[in-house]
Amino acid sequence: MIFKSLPTYIVEESEYRDFSEYREKFSRKHVKEVMFKLSELVAQKISLLLKNSSGALIFDGWSKYRMDCLCIYASFIRNIPALEFGKTKTREEISVPLISITPIAGTNFSEDNENREATNFSATAHMRHFESIFYRILNINIHDWAVFLIEDNCALNQSIANLIEVPLIGCYNH
C-alpha cells in the first residue's frame, strides 16, 4: 500500500484483498493507527540516537499548490558496535534521518485573497518551526543539539543560523 502510494481505504475493498496476501479484512482506521504507532516508534529510535550526539541540521523549503513546505534532516555521526577479529570495537557512520516534511506553520489558504497572505518566511518563524519539530517529535532542544546548518547560501538562512547561534555551511541556490 505504501510503496504504491495507495490510499488507506484500499484495505477495505474486497478486490484489493483478493489480489494481496492479506485475506483478513482491515479497516482504514486500523491501518492509520498502525501507521501512527510506527511513526512514534521510529521517532523514539531517532530521538535516542540524536540525544547521544550533536550534528548538522539540513533543511530546504519549497512551495507547491499554494502550500509552503519544509523538509528537515538531521546529520550526525553515530558509533556502531562491530566485531573485529574476536574483539568488540566501534566504527563511526554518518546517519542522515529525515525528521519531517511538513507545511510551514502559518500558511494561509484563504480563497478571498488573490495574493494570499504569505507564510511568515522570517528567520524567527523558521527557527520556531525547527524548535517545535525537534521538541515535539524528538524531545530535543535544537539549540543544544545543532552544531551547524546546511542550506542554500542566502540571507534568510544566515539569519536562521545566527538565531540558533551556529555557523551556516552554505551551498549553491537552486
pLDDT at 174: 56
| pLDDT score of 32 more than 90 | no
CB atoms inside a 10 Å sphere around CB 129: 23
Q: If phi over 0 gives left and psi between -120 and 50 gives alpha, with beta otherwise, what is residue 85?
A: left
Instruction: Output DSSP code: residue 167.
Output: -
- pLDDT tens track for 127-146: 888 898 899 889 999 999 99
With a cut of 90, say whether residue 166 has pLDDT above it: yes
Cα angle 52, 147, 45 (rounded to 5 degrees) comes to 30
Local confidence band at 31 (pLDDT 50, 70, 90 cut-offs):
confident
**DSSP class per residue in 46-82:** HHHHHHT--EEEEEEEEEETTEEEEEEEEEEEEEEEE
Structure confidence by residue, pLDDT tens digits, 68-113:
788 999 999 988 888 888 888 888 899 999 999 888 755 444 444 4
